[in-house]
Structure 1
Amino acid sequence: MPKNTHSPSEHPAHEAPLAERLVQDRVKAWLNTALAIELAGYGDLTPEERAARKAVEQVKHLALADYPYALVPRIVDDLRRAGLLVEGDR
């Protein structure tokens, strides 16, 4: 079996600007916390709670799965336009 010789620092995610990676991490943490709270159950699941969990999972996979590509670059762009980031922040 070939040994993995790739360093984690060679991952394409590390090519993104630091500001973009920081925003992505913050958004990811917020989404994970919000989804965990929403999916937290108390005791037995009622049919309504089961349906709500299914809806949350569908939203997670259909609408939120591509947030690093759809949302994060827009946030970073907004920060740059507001003058809070300069082009050298890479």
Structure 2
Amino acid sequence: MTKKISHDPNEHPAHEVPLAERLVKDRVKTWLDTALAIELAGYGDITAEERASRKAVEQVKHLALADYSYALVPRILDDLRRAGLLVDGDR
């Protein structure tokens, strides 16, 4: 038996996550992706220094930034709530 697939955008699993959290995650992800892309952009031949720099950036990306949605986003949301900019009804 096949599972019925709904094409209604309101039934997408992403809608189970609060809107404020989705917006913060998207903004942080866009910023991180842009910053990393700029850092990793190379011009011409890659020197040993550039290769080492790229490796370091990749390690930081995977080790320190990979869990930003669990480590950073909830803190941002809590800060917004404490500042009165996000109320519990925004969940």
TM-score for both structures, normalised by structure 1:
0.87
Residue 66 of structure 1 pairs with residue 51 of structure 2: no
Alignment of 1:8-87 (within 5 A): 9-11=11-13, 13-87=14-88
Measured against aligned partners, the alpha-carbon deviations of 1:17-70 in whole angstroms (never above 9, x if no partner) come to 111110000000000000000000000000000000000000000000000011
Distance 1:52 1:79, change over 3 A: same
In structure 2, list runs of 5 or more residues that go unmatched.
none
User: Percent identity of the aligned residues?
Assistant: 80
Aligned residues: 88
Distance 1:36 1:75 in 2: 24
TM-score for both structures, normalised by structure 2:
0.86
Please identify runs of 4+ aligned residues in structure 1 that moved more than 6 A: none
Distance 1:78 1:15 in 2: 22
Query: Cα RMSD (Å) of the superposition?
Result: 1.9
Distance 2:3 2:42 in 1: 42
